[in-house]
Amino acid sequence: MNGGICQPNGVCGCIEGFMNDLDAGINNCSLIYCANNGTMVNGVCQCSPGWGGSNCLLCGSDQACKSKLGRENVTCDNSYQLGKQKSFNCSMNEEWWPIIGNYTQILCTDVYPLNGSKVPQGFCELQMFDDPGLFETAYCKLSHCHVRWGSANDVTYKCTNTSCTCSHINPKCDDPLVSSILAGMLTDGQVTCDISTKRCVLTQTELPGTIFMECLGAECIDSPLPPIVPDKPPLFYFYLFIGLASATALLMFITLLTCTVLSIHQSYIIKKEELLYRDENKGASLDILDLTYTMNNTKILNDINYSIRPGSVVAIMGPSGAGKTTLIDIMANRVKSGTVAGQLLLNGRKYGSDFSRLSGYVFQDDLLMSTMTVRECITFSANLRLPYTMSSNEKNARVNQAMQELGISHIADRKIGNELKRGISGGERRRVSIATELVISPHILFLDEPTSGLDSASAFSVMKTITNLSKNGRTIVFSIHQPRSNIFATFHDLLLLHRGQVVYAGPACEAEDYFVRMGYPSPAHTNTADYLIDLLTDELYVTRAESNYVTNDQESISLLGNQDQASYQNATHPVPFVHVSNQPAAPTFKNDVVRHPYGTSDFHQLLHLSGRSFKNFIRNFYLLPAHLITSVVLGLVLGICYRGMKNDIEGCHSRLGSLFAICAILCFSCMSSLDLFITERAIFLRERKNGYYRTIPYFFSKIIFDLLLLRVIPPMIIGSICYFLMGLRSDDMTNFSYFGWFLLIMVLFNLTSGALCIAIGCIAPSLSAGNTIATIVILSNAVFSGFLLNKPTVPYFMRWLFYGSFWHYAVEALASSQFAGFPIILDSAGRSITDTGEFYLNKLGLDKHFFYNDLIALVGYTIGLLVLSCIFLVAFVKERR
């Protein structure tokens, strides 16, 4: 024991300051010996001048060191700073600790970093005695030690491994409590001393309690010790936290200023262009030249040539799989997954970035915000797509005109509704979808299956409205499957497709006569549209079409004009005939210059998007109202369940459990952020492609209200209700410092959880997939929070998982604020031991010194996840049809 070395004769050779009493059967160096610096008198050392301590090993003057070592360059150092080997004598003033001893000697050797090594390879020896000069009670050796300076007056000797044994001579070693305590001290141990007061604190991870001591240290040194370089104190991290917060605020201000300047520049460009284009003709021509579309080495559209003139109402028909929707998608400049070859010219020039402002597109299925009214949906489109220079009165007039033209003025203030809450009918929804495009007065309007899902009366009403829109020169192009006869009669021109090729292109009223003349009689009392579709699906026709290339059919050519005859005779089509009618030339746009792709600046887009998001949050019960109500209820439930927690070990477990429960409730409630970009993804893709707004303004408009309303307010409500009900830490009812930190940590944790769910929602293919991914990620983080899994018990190579868990930072910060310095009572074998919460934190592997680091980590997680979400939304969320 005590660093003794077993000699060949079986006797323990003792280090200086200790001895054996072989006559008394003591052969383990457990007795104090005055060495060469004093004389034993009645079992107590009487130290020579210049020496002190229980075994006279503490130098008191430079002369004492010079006399002992025989050198003139040595001095006595009485600080807590270690040179080579320093001795400490400590007296303990704990009431319970005398069960082991009330006097301690500590000898530390080669402790990093003062030995120049970069590896904590030093060690400290700790001996415990009942009184100086009496039998030793216990001996501990602490290895892999290093020293850490918290400040100029605060030094800590921290060691990784501990090994303790009992002397087996002192009768106290027969106490099972003493034996169990010593046997269990295996891991981290440290001594922290305040130099100014000479008071030290001894803590050990498995030690049930904290030992307060008064210590003296001394060492003879050959040269002055290097100056103390304190570690960064906790206050440094507070300043660092404030600095990072200030830098973030400054960055946000610079970003806001940049966006403002950019928006002003965009507004100037838009205003200048709109003055130039204000009186532009709203008609448009569309020329399709050698259009071919291939996907997976299969031609979906093959060599299509067609011209559409202003004021035309062109219906694209054909059997299923003919390529109707594909053709109209390409004509409307929708992104396709395959390869598109050929040219598309709008009024004589190629499509530009402003195409979305010159055209409108109505999808087959109507996707509208269910919480908005009809007027609000149309006004939203007008505010974002019409020039910001246009007055509100003029925009409202256009909204009213569009509703009047489409016959929906009487439902202007009714909400759209959804499957759960009844709103407007299907036909009315289709009219609203058309109105959102019509309000911008597009040059050309595309519609994909406008009658799909409507009854015959509603379908006829919608088609009649659509054809009436062409009277002022607007071009209408739509696909339709098999319309009834009165709807077919409203068509001006017909483009008939079969297996991706044009079969007929000309006036709709001449289509039936043409095919009759070609030898395909029409049954009596048959709808023309049904006749054409049946004809194209008839095997006889298909066989003839694939085996005959008619290029000189005089009867067919006689129907063409001179210009079309030449082009027809030089073409090769695997169909019996292609009929193309002559149409007048189209006007061109003013000044062949591509205008700004958006009607409003980024600032105006953010403004109007935020307004819609706010209305949606207020009107959707399952968003803000539900969160607020459940916050109040859960706050009361948690407060009642955890009320009356004590300050013993069981109470500490309940306190930590309550903090974990609050985190769990908040984190899983953040899964409502998943559908922020999932359920509205189709609406976002359509509106973005139709030129409503950019991605960045949309992203910020969504997260502003989600984070502020759903991630800041609920944790403050829950925390305010349950904190004092549960009896969490508070010196008195007027001291809200702990309460303030608690709310701040809860808000930061909730923001991080919300940002995580937003990031997952940006890339998850569906809500169910998002729920699965989010649940796995959240539970994985919860496992490594420090509550469900004890950090010290985890293999060293896996502990990095704790630092990757945002739960860990929140739990550690909460536990540090609640337990650091908090008095607790340890009851061990009927002995009440008073300790502080640091003991409990050490058992969990949590460090109170990382409090500000934890706050910084949560802020960093939130910002990083939001940036990642924005990147996901811009780079990966794209329309592919």
pLDDT (mean) for 472-492: 85
pLDDT (mean) for 527-540: 80
Domain termination site, one of 537, 569, 601? 569
Residue 521 lies in a domain: yes
Give 710's DSSP letter: I
- 195, 342: one domain: no
pLDDT of residue 464 exceeding 50:
yes
Residue 293's H or E segment, with its range, is strand 286-295
Tens digits of per-residue pLDDT, 77-101?
Answer: 888 887 788 888 888 766 556 567 7
Residue 598 lies in a domain: no
pLDDT value at position 380? 93
pLDDT value at position 266? 72
Residues 287, 307: Cα–Cα separation, whole Å: 4
- 295, 171: one domain: no
pLDDT of residue 551 exceeding 60:
no
**Which residue would you say has higher pLDDT here, 471 or 698?**
698
Residue 75 lies in a domain: yes
pLDDT of residue 272 exceeding 80:
no
Residue 691 lies in a domain: yes
- 751, 648: one domain: yes
Domain termination site, one of 569, 597, 624? 569
pLDDT value at position 506? 86
pLDDT value at position 81? 80
pLDDT (mean) for 472-487: 85
- 210, 359: one domain: no
pLDDT (mean) for 299-313: 87
Tens digits of per-residue pLDDT, 25-72?
Answer: 777 777 777 766 788 777 677 888 888 887 788 888 888 888 888 888
Cβ contacts of 303 within 8 Å, gap of 6 or more: 290, 291, 292, 501
**CATH code at position 422:** 3.40.50.300
pTM of the prediction?
Answer: 0.69
pLDDT value at position 132? 60
Residues 263, 286: Cα–Cα separation, whole Å: 33
pLDDT value at position 136? 76
Tens digits of per-residue pLDDT, 647-673?
Answer: 777 788 888 899 999 999 999 999 988
pLDDT of residue 140 exceeding 80:
yes
Q: Which of 380-389, 502-511, 571-580 has the lowest mean pLDDT?
A: 571-580
User: Residue 523 is encoded by which pair of tokens?
Assistant: 């049954």
Please provide residue 566's backbone torsions phi and psi, each rounded to the nearest 5 degrees: -65, -45
Residues 395, 402: Cα–Cα separation, whole Å: 11
Residues 786, 812: Cα–Cα separation, whole Å: 7
Residue 633 lies in a domain: no
User: Residue 287 is encoded by which pair of tokens?
Assistant: 């020329």
Domain termination site, one of 167, 188, 221? 221
- 501, 375: one domain: yes
Could you report how far apart the first and last alpha carbons of the chain are, in Å? 80
Residues 571, 552: Cα–Cα separation, whole Å: 10
How many domains does the structure of the chain reveal?
Answer: 3
Tens digits of per-residue pLDDT, 402-426?
Answer: 888 788 899 999 999 887 788 888 8
**Which residue would you say has higher pLDDT here, 254 or 752?**
752
**Which residue would you say has higher pLDDT here, 587 or 811?**
811
- 418, 493: one domain: yes
pLDDT value at position 822? 79
Residue 259 lies in a domain: no
pLDDT (mean) for 699-703: 90
pLDDT of residue 250 exceeding 90:
no
Residues 384, 374: Cα–Cα separation, whole Å: 16
SS3 578: coil
Residue 246's H or E segment, with its range, is helix 234-277
pLDDT value at position 808? 92
Domain that holds residue 791: 642-875
User: Residue 19 is encoded by which pair of tokens?
Assistant: 């001895």
Do 529 and 496 touch, CB atoms closer than 8 A?
no
pLDDT value at position 209? 66
For the chain, the 3-state helix, strand and coil shares in percent, each to the nearest 5, are: 45, 20, 35
Longest alpha-carbon distance in the chain: 139
pLDDT value at position 585? 44
- 216, 294: one domain: no
Strands of 465-575, DSSP E: 475-479, 493-498, 501-507
Tens digits of per-residue pLDDT, 790-841?
Answer: 877 788 778 788 888 999 999 999 998 888 877 777 665 445 556 667 777 8
Banded pLDDT at 256 (limits 50, 70, 90)? confident
Q: At what angle do helices 737-763 and 713-726 cross, to 10 degrees?
A: 140
